């Protein structure tokens, strides 16, 4: 076979040389050890946890090592692409605060290694496809769907492995003349790789996460270019990761099965493969067993879910880090206030088998994350969330930001901050008692206090109420009132001798709490009353008094 002639016949328009492309995409000028990583999603319109899981790994590896993290759009599969898919990718990553150093963007792209959308790189793939033909490592295959189907049936009958390989790879043996004839007859073809494997060789491979592996070498003549000249994932990512000088490819472990193909392609092209890091699948517990998260059954697989439900982005990231690196939680306990960027993220600490994803655990993490934020931070994140997902609530929050911030400041900071809120969507019911538009009484008075006593408590308190009192003085007054009305000002004293009292100071403040907040459980009552102000406090007390 005259491979040169074949290469000209198939790709006459591809005139650049591999050397020219190598010069166009030179090795990056980065310090020793700097990692170049990429996230390479396909614009299917569905962004899932796996995308974020991988992106976070890429981002941490690159940025902790002083390297580069870039975004590449893998849009070679037109069948899976949906309109607006690229915008979905960009906006989702931007909402999850992932900072790309280069790559595709809404208004054009950034970086010297582009274009970063595969569809725009057809010419580049053709240069290397042509090179492989020249070397006798690629050939056109004219087999039709029906012929491939027949081959599959034959393989089934012969109990042979499926695929296009060895003696089954019949287009391997076409002569130049035969190829010319088929082309002249307008027969469509794909370009296939010619594997050197026999299916018997084993290769040793070290994965950054999975460690030392023994793989069966590739023997499949995989498709490099589809009939429209667009490359397959196998070929495109090999060319791109080489030219874009990726040092570490982080991807889901579902790609491990085809890794031998990729390694053989790198070898055929004379390139050093990047380090591969195959991440474990995200699993969930169900009926006592583990299973993969599924798009159909688990809404929590979609990244949109977290945004619309109001999971704070910092919480989701913090939780994913606990899944990604086994020593993260220990580090967090030792460094409660440190920014996550300081955590020494590493591939070695990544889970080898399925990571268990648990929404309850995420909620717990989120409560801690929210508790550690300042009122200012919570306000700004909450307002951003509400603007999009709860405009009515946003209108209330933004009408008086100082008031909202003051509400959010109650119980925040100090050695024992409140840890009862996990989602932005939980702030509205929590804050509703502060807004007349949202206020609704949830709980009635406790049956422990006789209604006549409750009425007296409210009447006397109305006379005594002094909005200027600070916490200690406020509580001292409630104690005095308790003593005056036959309730013990001291809970311990009451417990020693309950017969001697009508109840204790907690019962008295409970009556006040229900009257003012409409709940038996509320943030610190003195702070609440200060924020509500005299007029509203008195009005609520009198409304509640009327129900007794």
Active site residues: 295
Is the CB of 140 or the CB of 274 nearer to ligand GLU?
A: 274
Q: Which stretches does DSSP call E strand in 436-486?
A: none
CB neighbours of residue 193 within 10 Å? 25
Residue 237 touching ligand GLU (CB under 6 A): yes
Least distance between ligand GLU and beta carbon 41 (Å): 5
Q: Which stretch binds ligand GLU (CB under 6 A): 35-43, 161-169, 356-364, 391-399?
A: 35-43
CB neighbours of residue 340 within 10 Å? 17
Least distance between ligand GLU and beta carbon 97 (Å): 20
Q: Which stretches does DSSP call E strand in 129-286?
A: 138-141, 190-193, 202-207, 211-216, 223-225, 248-252, 275-279, 282-286
Paired strand residues for 289:
286
Residue 274 touching ligand GLU (CB under 6 A): no
CA distances from 249 to 278, 331, 479, 484 (A): 8, 26, 66, 74
Residue 42 touching ligand GLU (CB under 6 A): yes
Residue 367 touching ligand GLU (CB under 6 A): no
Is the CB of 40 or the CB of 171 nearer to ligand GLU?
A: 40
Q: What are the DSSP calls for 261-322, one per residue? A: HHHHHHHHTT-PPPEEEEEPPEEEEETTEEEE--TTT-GGGBHHHHHHHT--HHHHHHHHHH
Are the beta carbons of 196 and 264 closer than 8 angstroms? Answer: yes
Could you give the string, one character per residue 244-263, with x where binding to ligand GLU holds by CB under 6 A and - elsewhere?
-----x-x------------
Which burial class, exposed, middle or buried, applies to 7 when counting CB atoms under 10 A from its CB (0-12, 13-18, 19+)?
buried
Is the CB of 255 or the CB of 430 nearer to ligand GLU?
A: 255
Least distance between ligand GLU and beta carbon 351 (Å): 18
Paired strand residues for 223:
192
Q: Which stretch binds ligand GLU (CB under 6 A): 36-44, 443-451, 475-483, 517-525?
A: 36-44
Least distance between ligand GLU and beta carbon 278 (Å): 10
The residue to which tokens 């509320």 are assigned: 522
Could you give the string, one character per residue 463-482, with x where binding to ligand GLU holds by CB under 6 A and - elsewhere?
--------------------
Could you give the string, one character per residue 64-103, with x where binding to ligand GLU holds by CB under 6 A and - elsewhere?
----------x-----------------------------
Is the CB of 43 or the CB of 140 nearer to ligand GLU?
A: 43
End-to-end CA separation in angstroms for the chain: 101
370: alpha, beta or left? (left if phi > 0; alpha if psi -120 to 50): alpha
Is the CB of 42 or the CB of 315 nearer to ligand GLU?
A: 42
Residue 48 touching ligand GLU (CB under 6 A): no
Q: Which stretch binds ligand GLU (CB under 6 A): 37-45, 133-141, 178-186, 366-374?
A: 37-45
| Torsion angles phi and psi, residue 314, rounded to 5 | -60, -30
Are the beta carbons of 306 and 369 closer than 8 angstroms? Answer: no
Is the CB of 55 or the CB of 386 nearer to ligand GLU?
A: 55
How far out from the chain centre does Cα 497 lie? 57
Could you give the string, one character per residue 206-235, with x where binding to ligand GLU holds by CB under 6 A and - elsewhere?
---------------------------x--
Residue 133 DSSP SS3 = helix
Q: Which stretch binds ligand GLU (CB under 6 A): 18-26, 39-47, 345-353, 491-499?
A: 39-47
Closest CA to 61 of 242, 248, 231: 248
Read off the tokens for 409. 């400041």
Is the CB of 246 or the CB of 456 nearer to ligand GLU?
A: 246
Which burial class, exposed, middle or buried, applies to 359 when counting CB atoms under 10 A from its CB (0-12, 13-18, 19+)?
middle
Least distance between ligand GLU and beta carbon 432 (Å): 42
Least distance between ligand GLU and beta carbon 15 (Å): 29
* One of 7, 41, 102, 355 touching ligand GLU (CB under 6 A): 41
Least distance between ligand GLU and beta carbon 237 (Å): 5
Residues near ligand GLU (CB under 6 A) are 40-42, 74, 233, 237, 249, 251
């Amino acid at each position: 076979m005259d491979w040169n002639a074949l290469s000209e016949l198939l790709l006459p328009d591809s005139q650049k040389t591999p050397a020219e492309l190598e010069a166009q995409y030179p090795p990056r000028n980065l310090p020793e050890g700097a990692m170049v990583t990429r996230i390479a999603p396909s614009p299917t319109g569905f962004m899932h946890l796996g995308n974020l899981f991988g992106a976070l790994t890429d981002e941490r590896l690159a940025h902790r090592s002083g390297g580069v993290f870039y975004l590449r759009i893998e849009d070679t599969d037109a069948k899976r692409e949906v309109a607006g898919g690229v915008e979905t990718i960009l906006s989702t990553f931007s909402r999850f605060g992932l900072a790309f150093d280069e790559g595709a963007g809404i208004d054009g792209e950034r970086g010297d290694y582009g274009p970063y959308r595969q569809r725009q790189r057809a010419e580049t793939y053709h240069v290397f496809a042509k090179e492989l033909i020249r070397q006798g490592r690629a050939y056109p295959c004219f087999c039709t769907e029906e012929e491939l189907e027949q081959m599959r049936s034959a393989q089934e009958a012969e109990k042979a492995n499926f695929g296009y390989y060895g003696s089954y790879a019949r287009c391997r043996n076409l002569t130049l003349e035969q190829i010319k004839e088929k082309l002249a007859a307008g027969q469509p073809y794909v370009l296939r790789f010619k594997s050197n494997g026999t299916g018997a060789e084993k290769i040793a491979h070290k994965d950054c996460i999975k460690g030392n592996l023994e793989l069966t070498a590739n023997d499949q003549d995989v498709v490099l270019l589809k009939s429209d000249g667009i490359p397959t994932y196998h070929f495109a990512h090999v060319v791109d990761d080489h030219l874009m000088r990726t040092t570490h490819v982080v991807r889901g472990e579902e790609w491990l099965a085809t890794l031998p193909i990729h390694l053989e392609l790198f070898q055929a092209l004379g390139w050093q493969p990047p380090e591969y890091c195959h991440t474990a699948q995200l699993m969930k517990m169900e009926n006592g067993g583990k299973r993969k998260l599924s798009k159909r059954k688990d809404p929590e697989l979609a990244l949109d879910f977290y945004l619309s439900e109001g999971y704070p982005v910092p919480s989701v990231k913090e939780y994913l880090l606990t899944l990604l690196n086994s020593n993260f939680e220990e580090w967090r306990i030792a460094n409660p206030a440190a920014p996550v960027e300081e955590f020494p993220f590493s591939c070695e600490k990544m889970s080898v088998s399925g990571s268990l994803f648990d929404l309850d655990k995420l909620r717990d993490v989120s409560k801690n994350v929210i508790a550690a934020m300042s009122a200012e931070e919570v306000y700004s994140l909450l307002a951003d969330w509400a603007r999009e997902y709860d405009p009515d609530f946003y209108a209330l929050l933004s009408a008086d930001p100082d008031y909202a911030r003051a509400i959010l400041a109650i119980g925040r900071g100090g050695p024992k901050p409140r840890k009862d809120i996990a989602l932005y969507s939980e702030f509205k019911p929590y804050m509703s008692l502060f807004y007349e538009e949202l206020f609704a009484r949830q709980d009635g008075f406790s049956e422990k206090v006789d209604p006549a006593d409750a009425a007296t408590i409210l009447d006397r308190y109305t006379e005594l109420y002094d909005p200027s009192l600070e916490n200690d003085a406020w509580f001292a007054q409630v104690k005095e009132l308790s003593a005056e009305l036959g309730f013990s000002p001291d809970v311990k004293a009451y417990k020693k001798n309950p017969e001697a009292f009508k109840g204790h100071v907690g019962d008295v403040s409970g009556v006040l709490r229900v009257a003012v907040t409409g709940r038996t459980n509320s943030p610190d009552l003195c702070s609440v009353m200060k924020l509500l102000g005299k007029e509203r406090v008195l009005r609520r007390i009198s409304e509640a008094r009327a129900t007794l």
